[in-house]
Amino acid sequence: MDLVKILEENEGKEDLSKSIKVHKNVELDIDLGSLLASDHNVFDTKALKSNPNLYLIDLTRDNVQLLINKIWELPVERVDEAIVAKLPKPNYTLPRSHVIPKPKPLTKWQQFAKEKGIRSKKKDRSKLKWDEELKKWIPTYGYKRVKAQEQKEWLIEAKGNASLIDDPFAKAKTAKQERQSKNELQRLRNIAKSKNIKLPRVGLPTREHFSSSQQFSEALTIARTSTASIGKFQSRLPKEKDAKGIAKEVIGMKRKRKAPPLNVIEEKRRNKNLVDSILKSNTKIVRDDYSTGIAEIKQSTTSGSKKRKGALKANKSKTAKKPKAGKGKRDLHKKVGGRKRR
């Protein structure tokens, strides 16, 4: 009999776990567009306290079962040998995890093109172009185009007024470098404009734009790290260092950490230098006289003595009389004012 009872109990449990029918006192608020099910029923506090993990697993299973039952009620269609159900529009708007991104500011050319109604034709352009001289397809941009251009222009016709010393290849190279520098300058100006940084039209930045050397070094570091490689392949000035605390503002820039001490002597030297720098600063925390009020007394006494000396000097200058003559009798041990004759 005991065995029969155990089998009946096990069968009942298996049937209950496989059942798709779930009873709830309050129906769930289901949003199929977001695949969201909100359960407004009251928790069973006794079951939750006795075995919280089992209670939460059962509750989650029941709610998911009700959500899947609603999904099966949706109309289905066959797409590429697969049955697909189309979800309706969501009723519940999910909150954003981040702030809505601000629109990227337009560059000077983009703003001009928008005002004049100029449209870009990048989509219509083909990546390859047929060259009649070389009799092959050449890419419109990239290093292969440059190589093809060198094959094409291996000989440059000299103009009539050109001097024999001038090198046309060197001239073309310098002109290209100037164009690249101009484009780079315009790119940096666009970055400064997007970040509301005022730059001078001609010459170096003045004190109005960078009031301190820290601001100047920050602007220099940001300009150098504004490339795709975060300034890894950009050349540096002699003795140029990154600005302090700029790694937090520049995305992708790693903060340089001090290397740990190699041995005990090095660690002792670092700690000694740190303590010396604190003691040399002469702060109120380190000084003992600030705790007893001796410093204030000293300051008041010194200021009072200075005031008295100044008052005595002022009185002497106002009320002083001419010294009287000694009538030939002069005491050498006594100091007497007057003119000294030699």
Residue type, 251: I
Q: Across all residues in the chain, what is the average pLDDT?
A: 77
- Give me the residue spans of the domains in the chain: 15-85, 210-234+241-253
Q: What is the pLDDT of residues 190-222, one digit of tens each?
A: 888 888 777 666 555 555 566 677 777 788 787
pLDDT of 302: 58
Q: 158 pLDDT band (50/70/90 cuts)?
A: confident
Judge residue 216's burial from the number of C-beta atoms within 10 Å of its C-beta, 0-12 exposed, 13-18 middle, 19 or more buried: middle
State the pTM of this model: 0.30
Cβ neighbours around 242 below 10 Å, total: 19
Q: Look up residue 105 and give its DSSP letter.
A: P
Q: Mean per-residue pLDDT for 13-29? A: 74
| pLDDT score, position 313 | 56
Task: Give the mean pLDDT of 174-191.
Answer: 89
Q: What is the Cα–Cα distance from 98 to 254, expressed in whole angstroms? A: 24
**Tokens 């030939």 -> residue:** 328
Q: What is the DSSP string of 141-159?
A: SSHHHHHHHHHHTSS-PPP
CA distance 50 to 97: 36
Backbone dihedral region for residue 85 (phi beyond 0: left; psi -120 to 50: alpha; all else: beta): beta
Q: Tens digit of pLDDT for each residue in 57-99?
A: 999 999 999 999 999 989 889 888 888 888 898 888 778 888 8
Cβ atoms of residues 83 and 75 within 8 Å? no
Would you place residue 266 in the very low, low, confident or very high pLDDT band (cuts 50, 70, 90)? confident
What pLDDT score does 298 carry? 58
CA distance 244 to 257: 12
